[in-house]
Structures are given as structure tokens and as C-alpha cells.
Amino acid sequence: MDTPTLILQAVVVTLSLLIPPLADGIERKVRAKIQFRVGPPTILQTFYDLRKLAVKELIVPKGAELTLTISSIALVTAVTATASTIWIVAQDVFTPANLALTVLLISGSHVLISLTSLTTSNPYAVVGSFRKILLQVVNEVGFFVGVLYSITALKNLTSDTSPQLITSYVISVALVVITTYVSSGRVPYDIHEAEPELASGVLIELSGPLLSIYSYTHILKKYLLSFITAYLILTPFTSLTNPAIKLAANVTFGLMIYLSYGFTAALLGRTRIDLSLKTLTTTTLIIISLLVILSWLSSY
């Protein structure tokens, strides 16, 4: 690996850590616009919010001394996951080992984020976390199946453009889109944070720096997922080889996906835990079986 690429990656990773709050700021503005409101004063508002929370006194909820540790590890893991994803994308190094590592990092950060709320003793937070985990279990499976299938399809698409493969690609990307949307915790899937629906609210015990860390990790995760989705959608339509341009395009498109998710969320209401699980499980299962059938077909 040469030095310029390394520097480039460092820059992109740094940017990727700064873009999420910005994306969130824009999302808030867009949502406000749909809702006839002014919204936050500037699109930098999320930065200000996070900073304000970060400098407040640290209050660790009683019986939840682990919370701080776990949320910090979650943050680190999320950052590493971002870096690793960017590295793979920039270098085009889709070796099984690399993929496995990234998968591990991403799901690790998800699990840790959920654990953060579980470690508090507040039953509402706990209920919220369990609801989240329930959704996550189904969702994570769908997400990784979708990602792996679409990457395989992408690699093969260069040599083979059979309808089966194209269909398989389209379906698996659709699965990724659905699962990343669900994973972003936006309406209708914001069940874990649905305080008006009782016995939930993973954030209930967090405040100050803790909340800042949690929120940032959460936004970063949302952004990373959009980034991955953007990569999967973008690749077949572009033949960029310059890593700088490629990354720039990917970042921009990722941002757009992030915003379009936010946009969609403003138009919908919240589903119920049982309904969401039912629909999500059914959709995931159907798509996965379709994918299996397709690959089975194309192997002949």
C-alpha cells in the first residue's frame, strides 16, 4: 500500500467521522421543512448538541457502572468498523478475512450499543433494549446475507450478465436497503425509543457525556450503513478506478441515502413490535429464499 492511498484513507475516515452529525443536522432541517417548521438554527446543530452534552458533568446511573465502559467500547468499535469499511471499499480487497472482520466489527458495535442500555437498571430502558435486540436479531441476518450476496453478485457481474445474476443483485440490494433502514431506528422502527408507547426508551438513563457518546455512535452507525448501501448501489453504474474520486462519490451518495431515509421517516407512523417483527421476518425470509433459489438456478 502506498503512502498517498494511506493518507487519502485517513482523510476519508476523518471526514466520515465528521459527516454523520452534519447529515443528522441536514435531516433535522429537512424533516422540519416537511413539518412546516423552521427546525434547528443551522445544520451544524447536532455538533453543538453533542458538544454541549459532552462537556456536562458525568453522571453514571446507579447500578450501571458498566454503561460508560461499554458505550466507549461501542464507540471505538463503530469507528474501527467505519475505517475498515472504507479501507475495503478504497482498496477493493474483498477477501473473506477482510469481510469477516468488518462484519464482526459492525455487528459488534450494534450489540454493544444495545448493551449500553441493558446495563442500566431502569426497566424501561431494558424493555426498550430488548425490543431493539429482537428486531436486530432478524435484521442483522438479513443485512449480512444481503451484503454478502450483493458483493458476490457484484464481483461476478463483471464477467457474467445473466438475468439471474442481475435479479439476484437487485433483490439482495433491496434487502440491504430494507435492513439498513430498519437498523437506523427510524420510524416506523423506532420502537425501542417509543416513550409514548410505554415501557421503552433506551436513552432513559443516559445524560451528559454518556448520552453524547451514545448518540454519536448511533449516528455514526446509521451513516456507515448508508455508506455501505451506497457502495453496493453505486458500483455497477460507475467504473471509477481512482480511489479518491471513488470514495468521494461513495460518500456523497451515502449522504443522499442517509437523507432519503430521514425523508421517508417523516412520512410514516410507528409500527407495533409484533407487527414489525412479523413483517420484517416474512420479508427477510422471502428475499433470502429467493436469493437461494436464484443462486441454485444459476449454478446450473
Partner 1 sequence: MVKFLKVLKASATVGTVTRRYPFESSLVTSEFRGLIEIDPVKCVGCGACVRICPPKALTIEVNEKETILKYFIGRCIFCWMCVQTCPQKAIKTTNKFELSVFNLKDVMRELVFRTVTCKVCGRAFTPVKLVVEINKRVGDLYMHTDIYVCPDCRQALTARRLLTKYLGRG
Partner 2 sequence: MVKQLLIKEGGETQTVKVLNRIKDLCGPHTSIEFIHDKTVKVSVKSECLRKVAEALQSEEDVYLRTMVASDEKLINDSIKLYYVFGLDREGVNVILEVKIPAALSKHYEIPSISDVVKACDWYELEAHDLMGVKFSGRFLKRLVLPDDWPEEIHPLKKDITTEEIKKLYQPQVREKALEVGAEEVALIPVGPYHPALHEPEYFELYIKEEKVVDARYVGFMVHRGIEKLGESMGYDQIPFLAERICGICGFVHSVSYTQAVEEALNIEVPEKTQYIRTIILELERIHSHLLWLGIAAHLLGYDTGFMYAWRIREKVMVLSELLTGSRKTYGINLVGGVRKDINKEKIEKTKQTLKEVWKDYKGFAEVLLNVPQVRRRLSGTGVLPGGEARAYSLVGPTARGSGLSRDVRKDYTYGAYHFVSFSIPTYSEGDNLARTLVRIDEVYESINIIEQLLDTIPSGSEIKVNSWEPQPMKLGLGNVEAPRGEVIHLVITGMYGPYRWRVRSPTYQNLQAVPTMLRGVDLADAPITIASIDPCFSCTDRAIKINIKTGKIERVPLIKLSVKGGS
Residue 142 near residue 178 (C-beta atoms within 8 A):
yes
Residues touching partner 2: how many (CB under 8 A)? 44
Q: Which three cell numbers, joined as nine digits, stand for 30?
A: 429537512
Looking at 41, 269, 299, 300, which residue binds partner 2 (CB under 8 A)? 269
- Nearest CB to partner 2, comparing residues 31 and 248: 31
According to CB under 8 A, which residues from 118 to 137 bind partner 2? 123-124, 126-127, 130-131, 134
DSSP tag of 119: T
Q: What distance in Å separates the CA atoms of residue 70 and residue 66, rounded to the nearest whole number? A: 6
DSSP string, 18-48: HHHHHHHHHHHHHHHHHTT---SSSTTHHHH
CB of residue 27 vs partner 1: minimum separation in angstroms?
A: 15
CB of residue 5 vs partner 2: minimum separation in angstroms?
A: 41
Q: Does 211 sit near partner 2 (CB under 8 A)?
A: yes
Q: What distance in Å separates the CA atoms of residue 95 and residue 44, rounded to the nearest whole number? A: 38
Binding mask 35-64 for partner 2 (x = CB under 8 A): xxx---------------------x-xx--
Q: Does 300 sit near partner 1 (CB under 8 A)?
A: no
According to CB under 8 A, which residues from 266 to 295 bind partner 1? 267
Residues touching partner 1: how many (CB under 8 A)? 8
Q: Is the peptide bond before 21 cis (omega within 30 degrees of 0)?
A: no
Binding mask 62-101 for partner 2 (x = CB under 8 A): x---------------------------------------
- 112: nearest Cα among 91, 84, 133: 133
Q: φ, ψ for residue 104 (rounded to 5)?
A: -60, -45
Pick from partner 1, partner 2, none: which does 29 bind, CB < 5 to 8 A by kind? none
Stretch that binds partner 2, among 12-20, 160-168, 235-243, 265-273 (CB under 8 A): 265-273
DSSP string, 40-70: SSSTTHHHHHHHHHHTSPP-PPTT-THHHHH
CB of residue 40 vs partner 1: minimum separation in angstroms?
A: 12
Please report, as ranges, the residues that interact with partner 1 according to CB under 8 A.
32-38, 267
